Structure 1
């Protein structure tokens, strides 16, 4: 029966042994390369000197199939080549793993790969055993340029970072395929501040709410009365709930007659229910002798906010602070 033990005194180990150890200690699914933190290799442009300063950092440069090598580099300053007079250009700043056998040193080389000017330029291909740090956009015939960090932001979807004790990405709300990760794996969405757990069913699940986003309020008509809306209404969601909060004011006194099909439109970044989903919210009346009541509030399959107000008097405002559960019925 074969066996193996890592890192015992008096025993020699090679790069492949370390790579296997890294795979065991730091499972990372489809993320091949990992930065030690969000603060690694920060790019700072200087338009006066036409240079980009890259901060120090550490990164796990992953192997082709598994494992990898941790590498560190001190600060480096790179010169941006002069602009073409004919077309814009994209340059790629990388951290490339070096070896004593080829480059004379085991480490990480910070380099700028110059792109080809074109009407719709593309950054050069990232070499093997390298990580992408930033893209330099150079307009044609210009002395200025811009720099965009790409370390864990989704342009290179095999790159991530260690964040808050988890593996993290900041892909503008998009997550890598859950099928590439083991059940129970926790992935941290840096930009949305959400922890996602890979379920046994092969999906991502989070108990953390995403950021609040504004609902677009809509004017409507009741009978012959045109009603304008104002105020603020917000929505956010987790894997288990939609949550709405805010106040909607009505410009004109109106007496509810039937349903108002939509007083608001939810942004497309928020998922839709497969069935209209209802709750009750508070409302106030114009009449001073009325203490208010309840209104039926529905999040509809088209992303609208349907309102069924209590017809006890003319309505002046709607107060919303409600959670709507997600279930097999409506998701």
Structure 2
């Protein structure tokens, strides 16, 4: 996505190796550059980056508010960039909902009327839209507040109304642009909990924009890290924390509490010969945060058993492995690739997080 004059020329220059700063000096802004990714149904896909990285521009291309200078946006196999304006408005009204950072509520409408607004735009009869709005408000934790007005609600409650409005339309895709960043930390975490709880039941496809790494790692099934308009890494929270693609990504992860992000699955080893689950000090699910392994690992020299949803043994976590993972400095993918090519005359240079 390029803003300014001579856009197609700018695209060709980017393909030829020109960088963002060269174009900016000439009055052209390359907001998003060569961003390719797929969001699977039912997934929370988080796009994370600092201010100016291009993440909000990327989100607006996904629902057609901005048309890409080059490339395509496909939703359920349909190319949104090829739709006529009327067809695109129909898709936005029925299949894609957006939850904004600053709530975007109508102050003169009740909570229920705000929650039902997307259905009103669709032309849904009043009785049906009120019924669906009431149910959406219940899911968002606002049962009993239907007749109130936005100025009677706290910031967190207002954001719940915005979420309920998106849910009421029963859209297939939710786009959330820094939706919780204006909230106080405790309310923000409460909203994250609410979203995760709703997702267990509704299994919506969600693209969530944030500049906060902890929020990204808490919410995202997959995370895309953006820098200067480009996606520099896509992966799970564990992928990004354990094997950051470069020093830029590593600098984001240096202050993350690894014990709360990494799971037993990420650090488990193969069971040794003769290992018996009956002798293990504990059995934990593979999704268990490693913070919860400290106690069982400290009480026995026998590794903790790691099981899957069916209770089958899939790995073990020895005490030494837990301590080693928590104490290891982060290596980037580039470090690992370089190390594999070293000769005896080229000693490895370890890059620590934040270097």
Normalising by structure 1, we get a TM-score of 0.30
- State which structure, 1 or 2, has the greater radius of gyration over its C-alpha atoms: 1
* Structure with greater proportional strand content: 1
* Structure with greater proportional helix content: 2
More contact order relative to length (CA 8 Å, sep ≥ 6):
2
